[in-house]
Amino acid sequence: MNKIKDYTIDELKEEMTKLGEKPFRATQIWEWIYKENVASFDEMTNLSIELRNKLKDNYEIGTYKIIRKLESKDGTKKFLFDILDGNAIETVLMDYKFGKSICVSTQVGCKMGCKFCASTGIDFVRSLSSGEIVEQILAVQREEHVKVSNVVYMGIGEPLDNYDNVVKSLKILNDPKGLNIGARHISISTSGLVPKIKKLADEKLQCTLSISLHATTNEKRSEMMPVNKAYPIEELIDACKYYIEKTGRRISFEYALAKDNNDNLDDAKRLVKLLKGMVAHVNLIPINKIENGKYIKSTNENILKFRDFLNENGIVATVRRELGSDIDAACGQLRRKNLEE
């Protein structure tokens, strides 16, 4: 059955016409879903019982069930959702000074195979639909009674490997009749699918692009991230420049520091060279060691040296705060554990 949250408001108007209803019913339904955040069609009390039944016969509302909820000492909350087809996905809610930020998954599993990531080694199942991406935010807001102000597409999966659904979900988040979250408050993170980065640039959305860079030579990056063999660093940087040119937005580069791997001064020097002149920001992340993983966290001393070198050489760099480390909040760890159990 079709999922009602997969439709933009214009598409839902067409659906209503097909069902022999007036198009404005779509607006009412959207209000119930995105403003009132109801969990069932029965709660849409300004619709006739007849119409509610029609909706139930034709669409799924797709309300997630919570399998597990973990709370960190720092306020970070992690949810494992039952997405109603036997699969489970992870969503993380983070508490920042500027508001509530949510990290959404875009696929059940991931095909990218990054060596340091907890999703590697467990099977890729499928991509999420746009409604299934959006429901993560709705489900968290319903449970926590909060309004999310920022969304990062940084959970499980490669967003640009699920391009159409991700872009559609973004438009639904953006819609003033929907969740009304501005594009500037939304970040998409990618391992570097060059053609899709260019395609995204051409959409001229105002969202922030995060690039998971993690290394400064093709040899090292290919070893950490197999996707680099298809799209090497030079092509990736060119695509980033294109994105900046088309959107006027700066790019965020993610760089996870692993001891004796990518954290020495030569790496920092090459990074400066690569990013010189770009409107960019570097997010340094102390790498999170995964079970049986070969990469371990850099020392604090090295992390700060690395950061200072970048800053002294004209590249804005900050060290990402490690939120939720006591609850396995890092990429894919909870889903992995659940599968193992």
Residues that bind ligand SAH (CB under 6 A): 112, 114, 116-117, 154, 158, 189-191, 212, 254, 256, 285, 287-288, 290, 330-331
* Structure tokens belonging to residue 274: 């690569």
Amino acid (1-letter code) at residue 267: D
Q: How far is the CB of 144 from ligand SAH (least distance, A)?
A: 22
Enumerate residues 6+ apart whose C-beta is below 8 A from 322.
286, 288
Catalytically active residues, by annotation: 90, 331
CB nearer ligand SAH, residue 15 or residue 263: 263
CB nearer ligand SAH, residue 112 or residue 138: 112
Q: Are strands 77-82 and 88-96 parallel, antiparallel or unpaired?
A: antiparallel
CB nearer ligand SAH, residue 28 or residue 325: 325
Q: How far is the CB of 288 from ligand SAH (least distance, A)?
A: 4
- Estimate the crossing angle of helix 265-275 against helix 300-312, to 10 degrees: 30
**Which H or E run includes 103?**
strand 99-103
CA 82 to chain centre: 18
CB nearer ligand SAH, residue 91 or residue 191: 191
* Letter string b/e over residues 69-103, b meaning 16 or more CB atoms within 10 A of that residue's CB: ebebeeebbbbbbebeeebbbbbbbbeeeeebbbb
H helix runs in 163-232, sequence order: 163-174, 194-203, 218-224, 227-230
CB nearer ligand SAH, residue 4 or residue 207: 207
- Estimate the crossing angle of helix 233-247 against helix 194-203, to 10 degrees: 0
